Amino acid sequence: MNQQLPKQHHTEPDVDIERLQQYVDVLDDVLAYARERDYTGWDYGDGLSSRVLHSIPFDNLWFNLAVQEFIKRCPVNVRPLFRVEQRRNFKGIALFAMANRTRAQLGDWFDGRESSELYHNDAESLTEWLVDNQVTGFSGFGGSHRHRIQHPSGRSGPRHTIPNSPNLVSTSYGVKALLAGEEFDPNYPDIAKTAFDLAVEDLDYRPKDGGAVMDYYIGHPKDSYTLNALAIGARYFVELYGQFGDEELLERAEAVFDYVASKQTERGGWYYREPPTSSHLSMDNHHNGFIIESLLRYEQLVGSGRYDDEIELGLDFHARELFDEDGAPNFDEENAYPRDIHATAQGILVFTYAGQYDRAERAIDWALKNMYVPEEGRFYFRKQRFYTKRMTLMRWAQAWMAYAIAEYLATRISGEPSHGYGIDSLRATTETA
């Protein structure tokens, strides 16, 4: 039976409370799984944290790549065998901070404020951790992977130390968490604003083809551009604009978005990199979702209609070619498998922010049926055609699904796309426009 929430709490005409309660219960279990492990765990590309690898008395790029990719792609979780370290992930902690904060707010609707203290305290401590563990030695606030990643063009940090090399994506989610966590410390937005200097100075913001580009990470090849990372970087510019009203932030964001928008294909999707031949990835699922989400956030805050055509075409591509009707995520525009939990989470976010709640619910329900262990509160990594990779990656699976479900719940309750800010402090779309 559908029930209607009090009108002062939402603008949706009809919300199924019983259905939402089921998702709240899942969110609680997923967060409990992470909390019991202090939000530490294995990650997608963490193979070079292997203590076995560290014991080998030589360092070779191609050998490192082989070890990293074997651990990443193996059908079973060989990380314990290779003694891969379990760590906190910067982006994962940002996602957990926002999910916990939103869950604390949901106590008003589902189970009372008394249960909210735990989630509020975790959100506060995790947001503080982001400040304490930001990159150092650069122009401003930034986040990085906390394990080394081997790229064919180089690697992200010294072999025997935790990397301290910022990237646009980790930084963007850190910015979002600090802005959302202003209630914990009024200085957090000012810290977040310095991430603009990091992008301009250290990640080499520069004009390109009538727009602008930045490096995804320090040492990124200068002859290719990672499109989803550019969009996510531009998103934090526009979110800082929403906080501070600085026109330079908006102008810089629009220049990057203009470049990304210009690379949309007639089919509606974006290749992972420009030029497309610079990556083995095609128009894959969650990276396309990042771009659409970022453009939606721009329109929510600015409301200019500047990218309406790209959003409409991208949403159609996303729903038609990257998801099946039952909510199953396709890997890219040509391949259904592997079906990745991160793609599901990003799809939930895109469909939620676009107001396509039926699609968002189908994605959640597919994941709960096919990729979830309810007795343990954990999600699997990937489903191949003939088998499932049953390892649980703390950031890739748990953090993303916790954040996605929390965002769906906050948006349904409030009637406004949350975009990480929860229910109590949603940004008005025209506040600073």
What is the per-residue pLDDT across 276-304, written as a single tens digit (0 to 9) for each? 999 999 999 999 999 999 999 999 999 99
Q: What is the mean pLDDT of residues 381-385?
A: 96
Q: Are 100 and 47 in contact (CB under 8 A)?
A: no
The pLDDT value recorded for residue 58 is 75
The pLDDT value recorded for residue 73 is 85
Q: What is the pLDDT of residues 48-88, one digit of tens each?
A: 888 888 788 877 878 888 888 888 888 899 889 988 889 99
Mean pLDDT taken over the chain: 90
Q: What is the mean pLDDT of residues 352-372?
A: 98
CA–CA gap between residue 121 and residue 433 (Å, rounded):
33
Q: Using a pLDDT cut of 70, give the percent of the chain over it.
A: 90
Lowest mean pLDDT among 68-72, 102-106, 141-145, 233-237: 68-72
CA–CA gap between residue 114 and residue 101 (Å, rounded):
14
Confidence of residue 366 (pLDDT cuts 50, 70, 90): very high
CA–CA gap between residue 225 and residue 204 (Å, rounded):
12
Report whether pLDDT(332) > 60: yes
Q: Using a pLDDT cut of 90, give the percent of the chain over it.
A: 75
Report whether pLDDT(3) > 50: no
Report whether pLDDT(384) > 80: yes
The pLDDT value recorded for residue 11 is 40
User: Domain ranges in the chain?
Assistant: 17-46+85-414, 47-84
The pLDDT value recorded for residue 162 is 42
Tokens of 342: 């991160």
Report whether pLDDT(2) > 70: no
The pLDDT value recorded for residue 71 is 87
Q: What is the pLDDT of residues 10-57, one digit of tens each?
A: 345 467 888 899 999 999 999 999 999 999 999 988 888 888 887 888
Report whether pLDDT(133) > 90: yes
The pLDDT value recorded for residue 57 is 83
Q: What is the pTM of this model?
A: 0.92
Confidence of residue 163 (pLDDT cuts 50, 70, 90): low
The pLDDT value recorded for residue 424 is 65
The pLDDT value recorded for residue 161 is 37
CA–CA gap between residue 357 and residue 360 (Å, rounded):
5
CA–CA gap between residue 349 and residue 433 (Å, rounded):
24
CA–CA gap between residue 105 and residue 77 (Å, rounded):
36
Q: What is the pLDDT of residues 185-221, one digit of tens each?
A: 999 999 999 999 999 999 999 999 999 999 999 889 9
One-letter identity of residue 237: F
CATH no. for 17-46+85-414 = 1.50.10.10
DSSP 134-185: S--SSSS--B--SS--EETTEESS-TTS-----BHHHHHHHHHHHHHTTTT-
Tell me the sheet residues that pair with 50. 84
Q: Are 335 and 310 in contact (CB under 8 A)?
A: no
φ and ψ at residue 181, rounded to 5 degrees: -95, 20
Per DSSP (E only), the strands in 197-271 are 206-208, 211-213, 225-226
One-letter identity of residue 253: A
CA–CA gap between residue 384 and residue 254 (Å, rounded):
39
